[in-house]
Amino acid sequence: MRFDFDTLGCLYLIAIPFVVQPFLSCWLTPYVNDDDVSGYVDERFRNVLDAFRRNFGQGEEREGAAFAVFYKGREVVNVWGGYADKESRRRWQQDTKSVMFSASKAISSIVIAVLVDRGMLSYADRVVDYWPEYGRYGKNATTVEDVLSHKAGLPYLSERISISDVKNGMKMMQKVENSVPAWTPGTASGYHAVTFGFILDGLVRKVDARGRDIRTFFEEEIAAPHGLDIQIGARKPEAPFLARLTMPSLWEFTRDIIKDPKILVMLFFMYVRFDSVLEKMRSNPDWLQVNYDTMVLNDPEIVSLNLPAVTAVANARDVSRLLSMIVEKELISNTTLSQLSTPTLNSWHLEKVTIWPVMKGHGFFYEKHPLVPGSFTFGHPGYGGQFVHMDSQSGLAITYLSNGLKTGTGELCGTYMRLLNEVYNTVRRIEAL
């Protein structure tokens, strides 16, 4: 996905907070907005509802959002509020679906986990064991886990990618096969923002006896049998009814980086770099742009594409239910869950794309467990603050979706972190009883 800020413009944005900060103290004071939210909350998790409402009341959710939590297999939080489309006054409803951005990678990685659990492939297998043509140009030794931990060396493809290419799965597989890795596969990790999905889609086609693509496999083997309203690529007739995505305003950008200067560091590493890898990622595909005044994923033509790293669409409750089925071993065995619960890349390293040394493995990002020393939580962030979170130790499955995109994501998204912290405050109290 291309996040297109020109360097001069980015420097201008970065400088703004330091120039205007003395004049913003009053403006940064929380102000009251529409905090009318709906849904269900287990009484023990009432503080989570209060935090969700506060996100709206303090103006940090300018559009709409949904937050859902399953705890030990039970739904304990399912709340939503704001607008699916503020301009048309269309309210966010229980079944409102929103784009998951890179949190889509968690959905695709669950497909791989199911295939592993069924004995159809192994994380240690080489990709060429199933897809021989993949091995061209020095990619022969790449393992499935190399792909999932962003070590495949293909953060961009060598040939230009068009929309018509993406609609032709066989052509996309050929483009992957003919791509030259940017580094020797397995030797370094660099975030594969879009190509992650192309590689997994080709792998699933080769592994599945019926040759289904990853979104069809997910729909027929996971989503439909369990009544989950989740798709990889929106159904075209439903695309106009998705939550409409909006970018943060200049003032929101300024507010967010004053509140958390770490966002400034993230933006510096992402945009103020003259790096051939980053430039090639941003320029191919050039039609998949997310920048200050462009949001192509509001286009039904784009959001309906089979982009397994980007275009999953869902409501928060159904995603959390899916995650809970992983955590509670309904979809996979304890053996596979044990694999998923531990990163394969947890040592300090200079990430080739984000710079940030993220712990990775099996298609997920990992964090140290807040309550259980030596354990990890796992999930995946998505652009603008989207997040999916699994915790096999505490039995938690959490999803946050918002169409009013935030400046930061993951731990740099204040609205999400406020909710996550309240969930763990509650679990800490429950488990202390």
Would you state the pLDDT for residue 426? 98
3-state secondary structure of 149: coil
DSSP state letters, 315-327: -HHHHHHHHHHHH
* Separation between Cα atoms, residue 169 and residue 220, nearest integer Å: 18
Q: Is 420 helix (H, G, I), strand (E, B) or coil?
A: helix
User: Which DSSP symbol is given to 253?
Assistant: H
Buried b (16+ CB within 10 A) or exposed e, 355-372: beebbbbbbbbbbebbee
CA 54 vs CA 61, 217, 237: distances in Å? 9, 39, 34
Residue 355 counted as domain residue: yes
Cα torsion 14, 15, 18, 23: sign = negative
CA distance 416 to 215: 27
Residues forming a β-bridge with 41:
77
Residue linked to tokens 């930061």:
408
- Per-residue pLDDT 10s for the chain (433 aa) are 544 445 555 555 555 555 454 444 344 434 446 678 999 999 999 999 999 999 999 999 999 999 999 999 999 999 999 999 999 999 999 999 999 999 999 999 999 999 999 999 999 999 999 999 999 999 999 999 999 999 999 999 999 999 999 999 999 999 999 999 999 999 999 999 999 999 999 999 999 999 999 999 999 999 999 999 999 999 999 999 999 999 998 888 888 888 877 777 777 666 666 667 888 888 899 999 877 778 999 999 999 999 999 999 999 999 999 999 999 999 999 999 999 999 999 987 778 887 777 899 999 999 999 999 999 999 999 999 999 999 999 999 999 999 999 988 888 899 999 999 999 999 999 999 8
Give the chain's end-to-end CA distance (angstroms, integer): 46
| Count of domains forming the chain | 1
CATH number at residue 355: 3.40.710
Whether pTM exceeds 0.85 = yes
Structure-token pair, residue 226: 């369990």
Q: Give the pair of three-digit tokens for residue 306.
A: 């089979």
Residue 330 is assigned to a structural domain of this protein: no
**Closest residue by Cα to residue 93 from 84, 102, 106, 85:** 84
**C-alpha–C-alpha distance, residues 386 and 405, integer Å:** 8
Domain span holding position 373: 7-96+243-289+340-432
The answer to the question of residue 47 being in a domain is yes
Residue 51 domain-assigned (yes or no): yes
Structure confidence at residue 1 (pLDDT): 52
Q: What is the CA radius of gyration of the chain?
A: 21
Partnered with residue 104 across adjacent β-strands are none
- Angle in degrees, CA 260, 265, 266, rounded to 5: 95
Q: Is 40 exposed, middle or buried (0-12, 13-18, 19+ CB in 10 A)?
A: middle
| 382 DSSP assignment | E
In a domain? residue 148: no
Residue 169 in any domain: the answer is no
Residue 117 forms part of a structural domain: no
- State whether residue 132 is helix, strand or coil: helix
CB-CB contact of 341 with 323 (8 Å): no
Name every residue whose Cβ is closer than 8 Å to that of residue 92 and which is 6 or more positions away in sequence. 64, 65, 66, 80, 81, 82, 83, 84, 243, 403
Q: Note whether residue 413 is domain-resident.
A: yes
**CA distance linking residue 116 with residue 95, whole number of Å:** 31
